[in-house]
Chains A and B, each alone.
Chain A
Amino acid sequence: MLGKLVKYDLKASGKLFLLIHIIYLLTCLMVRFFYVNQLDFEAPAVPLFTSIVIASALMLFIITAVCICTWLQITFRFYRNLFGKEGYLTWTLPASSTEHLWAKLLSGYLLSAANTVIIAIGILILVTGENVTAFYAQFAPTFTAELGVPLTTYALWLFLYSLAGGICSVIWIYFCITAGQLFPGHRVLCAIAVYFIFGFVIQALSFLILFLSGYFPGYNHMASQGITAAAYLTGTLLISTVLIVIITVLQYAAMHYIMKRQINLL
C-alpha cells in the first residue's frame, strides 16, 4: 500500500517537476557555454566582476525560483491530497494514517532530494569550466586555510548536509499544514501562522543557544579571538544540527498524533 501511495504522489507531481528542472539544467548549460566559457579573467577587473555579479545574481534568482517551485509542489500535494477535496478519497483508501504520512514523507523527500541533486549538478555545470578552475586555483590555498578543508570537500559536505536537511524541511512544512487542521476554520491561514510563529520561536531559541555557547554575535567577533572560520562553521553547524533533529522529532510525533487521532475533514 505504501509503495502505491508513493507511486501516485510522484506521478501527480512528476511532470511539472521534470519540466521545471529540465528548463533549469538547459539554462545552466546555456549560461556555461555562452557566458562562463567566454569569461576572460585577464580582462579589466571592474567590467568583468560587474558582469559576474549580475550573472551570479540572475542564477541565484533562478535557483531560488526552482527551489520555491519544488517546495510549493510538495506543499500543495500534501495539502490537497490529504486535507482538500481529494482527502475524501485519500482518507477512505484502505491505508492507515501512518502509511499516508510515510507516503507523503517519502514522496516529498524524494522530490526535495532530487531538487538538491539537480541544483548541485547545475552549479557544477556553471563552475567547472577550465577558465574558472584555473582562476580559482590562484586562491585555493587561502580558501583551504580558512575552511580547514579544500573548497570541493567543503562543498561536498554542504551538499550532503542539504540532502539530509531535506527531510527536516519536509517534516517542517507538513507539520505546519497538519497543525493548521486543528483549527475550526481558515485552516490554510492558520497553517501559515503556525509556520511563522514556529519559525520565530526556533530562531529565538537558536540565537539563545548560540549566545550561550559563545558563537554569537558572529565570526568577526570570534576571529579576533583567533578562532578559524572552519572551527566557527563546524561549531555552529553542529549546534543547529542537534537543534533541528530535536525539533524534527517533536514535529513528527505531533503530526503522527494529529493524523491518527484528530482528523476532521471539513
Chain B
Amino acid sequence: MKPILECSRLTKKYGDFFALSDLSLTLERGQIIGLLGPNGSGKTTLIKLANGLLTPTDGHILINGMTPCPKTKQIVSYLPDCSFINEHMRVQDILSYYTDFFSNFSTERASAMLDALEIDRRSRLSSLSKGTKEKVQLALVMSRDADLYILDEPIGGVDPAARDFILKTILTNYREDAAVLISTHLIADIENVLDRVLFLRNGQLALNATVDDIRTEYGKSVDALFREVFKC
C-alpha cells in the first residue's frame, strides 16, 4: 500500500521567506500524527500544500501516490484553522452540502454527533458560539470515511471540556487503516492520543519519531521535549 502522504524536497517560498524548505517525509496509515512546531514553522503551509490550497515552489507532495487533485480530495478530510463554511447556512443545509459533495460522508454519524452536542439543525452557523461552530465543523470532517484526516488546530479555541469531546470524536471516528495528522500548540492535551510526532522548525523537519521512542530515548514527554527543542 502506498504511503498516505509523501513529500520530497518540498519547498514553499513567499517572496524571500521560506515557509517550507526541502522537506522530505513519509507518513504511513494507521497512526495519529502530531504536527508540532512554533508559530511560523510551516505547519499550516504543509497542510495547505497537502490539500492543494497552495502550489509548491519546488519539490512535490503526494497523497496516496497522487499529487493533490479531485481524487485525493475525495480521500482527505480537512479541518482548517478558521471558520470555513458560509455562516448564513443552516446546520441542516451544511449536512446536505456535505452529503451532496462527499460520497464518503455519513449523515447518520454526523447527525448522531450533532444530537449528542444538542445542536439545533435549523440554526444558522452565524448564530452559534465560536466553540459550537468548531464542534459542528469537526463533526462534519470526522463524519467522512476518509483515508487521511488533516486537522489544523482543532482544539485551539475551545474550553477544556470541549477539547475532551473533540479528542474523543477524533479517536472514535477514524478507521484503523486511516491516518490523522493534527497540528496544534496544545501538546499536553493531545499527547496521549498521538502515535508519532513531527517537529517542524523554520520549514524543516527537526524530528520525526514515535511517541514511544521519545519516551524511551529521551525519557521525557513530548510536551517536555518540545519545550526543550524550541526553547526561546
Q: Do A and B bind each other?
A: yes
Q: Is there an interface contact between B85 and A89, defined as CB atoms closer than 8 Å?
A: yes
Supply 4 further A-B pairs (C-beta < 8 A) apart from A95-B73, A184-B14.
A88-B78, A92-B53, A96-B69, A265-B54
- Within 8 Å of chain B (Cβ to Cβ): is A262? yes
In the complex, what residues of A have CB within 8 A of residue B74's CB? 94
Q: Is there an interface contact between B15 and A184, defined as CB atoms closer than 8 Å?
A: yes
Q: Is there an interface contact between B101 and A264, defined as CB atoms closer than 8 Å?
A: no
Chain B's closest residue to A95 (CB) is: B70
Instruction: Give the distance in Å from the alpha carbon of A12 to the alpha carbon of B93 in the complex.
Output: 11
Q: Which single member of B14, B84, B88 contacts A89 (CB below 8 Å)? A: B84
Instruction: Give the distance in Å from the alpha carbon of A94 to the alpha carbon of B86 in the complex.
Output: 18
- Within 8 Å of chain B (Cβ to Cβ): is A263? yes
In the complex, what residues of B have CB within 8 A of residue A81's CB? 86
Q: Can you report 15 residue pairs joining A to B where beta carbons are below 8 Å apart?
A: A4-B101, A8-B100, A88-B51, A88-B78, A92-B51, A93-B101, A94-B70, A94-B102, A96-B69, A262-B55, A263-B52, A263-B54, A264-B53, A264-B54, A265-B48
Q: Is there an interface contact between B73 and A12, defined as CB atoms closer than 8 Å?
A: no
Instruction: Give the distance in Å from the alpha carbon of A86 to the alpha carbon of B82 in the complex.
Output: 10
Q: Which single member of A8, A91, A261 contacts B51 (CB below 8 Å)? A: A91
Chain A's closest residue to B70 (CB) is: A94
In the complex, what residues of A have CB within 8 A of residue B54's CB? 263-265
Question: What sequence of 0s and 1s flags, for each residue 232-266 of chain A, a beta carbon within 8 Å of any chain B beta carbon?
Answer: 00000000000000000000000000000111110
How many residues of B are in contact with the other chain, CB < 8 A? 26
Q: Is there an interface contact between B73 and A86, defined as CB atoms closer than 8 Å?
A: no
Q: Is there an interface contact between A86 and B86, defined as CB atoms closer than 8 Å?
A: yes
Q: Is there an interface contact between A264 and B97, defined as CB atoms closer than 8 Å?
A: no
CB distance from B72 to the nearest CB of A (A): 9
Chain A's closest residue to B78 (CB) is: A92
In the complex, what residues of A have CB within 8 A of residue B97's CB? 8
- Within 8 Å of chain A (Cβ to Cβ): is B80? yes
Instruction: Give the distance in Å from the alpha carbon of A125 to the alpha carbon of B34 in the complex.
Output: 65
Given A92-B53, A94-B102, A262-B55: A85 in contact with B82 (beta carbons within 8 A): yes
Instruction: Give the distance in Å from the alpha carbon of A95 to the alpha carbon of B97 in the complex.
Output: 14
Q: Is there an interface contact between B55 and A92, defined as CB atoms closer than 8 Å?
A: no
- Within 8 Å of chain A (Cβ to Cβ): is B71? yes
Chain A's closest residue to B79 (CB) is: A88
- Within 8 Å of chain A (Cβ to Cβ): is B192? no
- Within 8 Å of chain B (Cβ to Cβ): is A129? no
